[in-house]
Amino acid sequence: MPRKPHFNMIRQFHLADWITLGNAFCGTGAIFAAMRFLQDGRVNDLLIGMALIPLAFVLDALDGRVARWRQTQSLLGRELDSLADVISFGVAPAALGYACGLQGGWDWLFLSYFVGCGVSRLARYNVTAEAMSGDEGKVKYFEGTPIPTSLALVVVLAVAAWQGALGERLWFGVWQLGPWQLHPLVLMFALSGSLMISKTLRIPKP
């Protein structure tokens, strides 16, 4: 039996798959930037991390177009896309929010809820994509908002960081609810997550 070459799986990646991995790379870099900011307190590190999310958004839009152009769409590519999106538009925005000051006990719950909604939304899409495809074999609409819409959350956080509204100076202050603190700003993550898992909200897919 012939021996398979090392890194055989990577050798099978198409150009679109490498673009998708670039998306994941940006999301991972944003998480590291948030950690670096918490360690050293340099706002520039935080802003660099936030700037990686729009780049991830561009790569996320590009990989599908490249796959269709080269006719290399595959189940592997779809799974890679979902995993990359979880990092860049789920975990990374939550990490950036935490770094900005959303660190109360209730904040943790809402940020975790947001990530959970993102994971659930992508899993549902992967399972139902074929059922929602028309005669052309293309999904015509999204059920719930796509997870890349979390870019809007990062934009809000970037404006806050640019204005120095971080930590104790975070917009809308902080509430003490029972044993834990809640920053009202975290509710935008709760809203975003809830819209992602909506079954009634349908958005046409370009």
**Predicted confidence (pLDDT) per residue in 46-65, tens digit:** 999 999 999 999 999 897 77
Q: Of 157, 140, 141, whose CA–CA distance to 192 is shortest? A: 157
pLDDT score for 206? 60
pLDDT score for 112? 98
Indicate the residue type of 35. Answer: M
Residue 154 placed within a domain: yes
- Give me the sign of the Cα torsion angle 33, 39, 44, 50: positive
Residue 90 placed within a domain: yes
pLDDT score for 73? 62
pLDDT score for 5? 55
pLDDT score for 41? 92
pLDDT score for 129? 66
Residue 1 placed within a domain: no
pLDDT score for 143? 81
Residue 2 placed within a domain: no
Residue 31 placed within a domain: yes
Residue 130 placed within a domain: yes
pLDDT score for 72? 60
Structural contact between residues 180 and 106, judged by C-beta atoms closer than 8 angstroms: yes
pTM over 0.95: no
Ranges in the chain, pLDDT < 70: 1-13, 67-75, 77, 129-141, 205-206
Burial string for 66-90 (b: 16+ CB within 10 Å, else e) reads bbeeeeebeeebbebbbbbbbbbbb
Give every CB contact of residue 40 below 8 A, 6+ residues apart in sequence: none
CATH number at residue 54: 1.20.120.1760
Residue 146 placed within a domain: yes
Domain boundaries, position 29: 8-204
Compute the CA torsion angle 53, 206, 147, 155 (nearest 10 deg): 40
Residue 155 placed within a domain: yes
Number of domains composing the chain: 1
